[in-house]
Structure 1
Amino acid sequence: MKKTAMTISYELWGKLYLNITNKCPCACTFCLRQNDDGAYGSDPLWLEHQPDYDEVIENLKTRDLSSYKEIIFCGYGEPTSELDILLKTAEYIRSVCDTPIRLNTNGLANLIHGRKTEQDFKGLIDTVSISLNASDSKAYMAITRPKWTDKDCFAEMLSFAETMKKYVPNVILTVVDVIGEEEIAKSQAVADSIGVTLRVRPLET
Structure 2
Amino acid sequence: MILYTLYENSYIDIAHLETLKDVHVYVNLTNRCPCACTFCLRQTKEMLESNSLWLEREPSVDEVIQEFQKYDLDDFAEVIFCGFGEPLERVDDVVQIAGILKLYRRDLPIRINTNGLANLIHKRDITPELKGRIDTISISLNAPDAKEYYELTRSRFGIESFQAMLDFTVLSKQYVPHVVLTVVDIIGSEKIAQCQSLCDELGVTLRVRPFEE
Structure 2 vs 1, CA of residues 37 and 68 (structure 1 numbering), >3 Å: closer, same or farther?
farther
**2-side partners of 1:22 and 1:96: how far apart?**
28
Aligned partner (choices 174, 187, 199) of residue 179 of structure 1: 187
Aligned to 1:204: 212
Match of 1:193 in 2: 201
Alignment RMSD (CA, Å): 1.8
Do structure 1's residue 96 and structure 2's residue 104 form an aligned pair?
Answer: yes
**Is the partner of 2:149 in helix, strand or coil?**
helix
* 1:118-161 residue CA offsets vs partner (Å, 9 max, x unmatched): 10100000000000000000000000111112x51000000000
2:12 aligned partner: none
- Indicate whether 1:166 and 2:174 are aligned: yes
Residue number in structure 2 paired with 1:107: 116
Q: Show the counterpart of 2:2.
A: 8
- Measured in 2, the distance between the counterparts of 1:65 and 1:147 equals 37
Name stretches of at least 5 consecutive residues in structure 1 with no aligned partner: 1-6
In structure 2, which of residues 110, 129, 132 is the aligned counterpart of residue 120 of structure 1?
129
* Aligned equivalent of 2:161, options 153, 157, 164: 153
Q: Which runs of 5+ in 2 are unaligned?
A: 8-22
The CA distance in 1 between the partners of 2:61 and 2:134, in whole Å, is 18
Match of 1:22 among 22, 31, 37: 31
1:53 paired with 2:47, answer no
2:149 to 140, 153, 157: 140
Aligned residues: percent identity?
Answer: 52
- Supply the AA of the counterpart residue of 2:119: N
**TM superposition score normalised by structure 1:** 0.90
The CA deviation at 1:63 is 2.6
Residues 39-78 of structure 1 show CA distances to partners (whole Å, capped at 9, x for unaligned) of xxxx701111121111111122123222121110000010
**Following TM superposition, by how much is the alpha carbon of 1:32 offset from its aligned partner in structure 2, in angstroms?**
2.6
TM-score calculated relative to the size of structure 2: 0.87
Deviates more, 1:10-19 or 1:74-83: 10-19
Partner residue of 2:78 out of 70, 90, 94:
70
Aligned length: 195
Q: Judge which range, 44-53 or 128-137, deviates more.
A: 44-53
Q: Which runs of 4+ in 1 moved over 6 A?
A: none
Hey, what's the Cα distance between the residues in 2 that align with 1:62 and 1:22? Answer: 24
Distance of 1:138 and 1:84 partners within structure 2: 31
